[in-house]
């Protein structure tokens, strides 16, 4: 099956894609394009899937690189593929032919580019990373390589939508302790439950940080099992494991 690759017009000057689960070699609960070695899927099958992604981006599998994601606010710069795992949640480069990637299954995959400066980035932004500053850290690291913040274009890919993201009062309190204005990203649910707008929060942080363009592709991972993996949907279904979606970008 052909890979399904979602793209954004504002990033059209660079090769990029938010890959859905379609077109992969995995089976069972991982059926499709599972690109996460951290899953219990067969390593050789994940390698096949990642090779297909690399081919779609026009690079060799050894040029598709990423970080060991830990829900942090750490961003790193890379001049070559990272051979040893680096604990971080964003990666940036100005090296042509190097494809940067992040893995998600409800969290926000965010791709960045300043085409004029020749600097790109990719970030994994769950609620914790977004609250702690991973998006801003990505921008800072891009600027260190010569990007201009006002020229940076940022796109949030498939993420869990507000309607599907139910949270408890402790979660809400964490955000209120940071900024009472963040109440706007919560909607009332049943009882003491609330619904959090993760991509809305991500867009807010990006725009407040001064990026030139910030968009969300408006795809919900939870509500579309044919196209996307979802950690929360897997948990609700009591499945043993889940696949990881990949988003990638290259100069």
What pLDDT shows up at residue 83?
87
Tell me what the pLDDT averaged over the chain comes to.
97
What pLDDT shows up at residue 67?
98
Residues 138-157 as b or e (16 or more Cβ within 10 Å = b) = bbbbbbebebeeebbbbbbb
What pLDDT shows up at residue 59?
98
Q: What percent of the chain is predicted at pLDDT more than 70?
A: 100
Predicted confidence (pLDDT) per residue in 40-59, tens digit: 999 999 999 999 999 999 99
Domain ranges of the chain: 5-159+221-250
Residue 249 tokens read as 């970008």
Residue 187's CB is within 10 A of a number of other CB atoms, namely: 12
What pLDDT shows up at residue 85?
83
Comparing CA positions, the residue from 50, 33, 154, 36 lying closest to residue 92 is: 154
Contact 196, 131 (CB under 8 A): no
pLDDT reading at 1 higher than 90? no
What pLDDT shows up at residue 47?
97
Predicted confidence (pLDDT) per residue in 8-40, tens digit: 999 999 999 999 999 999 999 999 999 999 999
Predicted confidence (pLDDT) per residue in 57-106, tens digit: 999 999 999 999 999 999 999 999 998 889 999 999 999 999 999 999 99
pLDDT reading at 146 higher than 80? yes
Q: What is the dihedral of CA 174, 175, 179, 181, to 10 degrees?
A: -140
Predicted confidence (pLDDT) per residue in 185-223, tens digit: 999 999 999 999 999 999 999 999 999 999 999 999 999
- Range 5-159+221-250 classified under CATH 3.60.140.10: yes
Average pLDDT over residues 153-182: 98
What pLDDT shows up at residue 105?
98
What pLDDT shows up at residue 180?
98
């Amino acid at each position: 099956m052909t890979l399904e690759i979602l793209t954004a017009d504002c990033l059209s000057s660079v090769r990029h894609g938010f890959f859905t689960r379609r077109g992969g070699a995995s089976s069972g609960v991982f059926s499709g394009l599972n690109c996460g070695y951290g899953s219990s899927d067969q390593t050789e099958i994940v390698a096949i899937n990642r090779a297909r992604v690399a081919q779609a981006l026009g690079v060799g599998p050894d040029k598709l690189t990423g970080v060991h994601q830990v829900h942090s606010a750490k961003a790193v710069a890379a001049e070559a593929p990272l051979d040893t795992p680096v604990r971080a949640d964003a990666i940036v480069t100005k090296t042509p032919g190097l494809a940067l990637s992040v893995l998600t299954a409800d969290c926000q995959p965010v791709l960045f580019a300043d085409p004029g400066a020749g600097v790109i980035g990719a970030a994994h932004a769950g609620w914790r990373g977004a609250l702690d500053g991973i998006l801003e850290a990505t921008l800072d690291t891009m600027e260190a390589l010569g990007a201009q913040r006002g020229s940076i274009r940022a796109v949030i890919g498939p993420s869990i939508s507000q309607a599907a993201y139910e949270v408890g009062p402790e979660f809400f309190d964490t955000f209120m302790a940071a900024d009472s204005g963040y109440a706007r990203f919560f909607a009332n649910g049943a009882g003491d439950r609330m619904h959090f707008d993760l991509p809305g929060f991500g867009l807010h942080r990006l725009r407040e940080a001064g990026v030139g363009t910030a968009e969300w592709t408006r795809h919900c991972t939870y509500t579309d099992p044919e196209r996307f993996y979802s950690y929360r949907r897997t948990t609700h279904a009591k499945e043993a494991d889940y696949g990881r979606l990949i988003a990638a970008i290259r100069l």
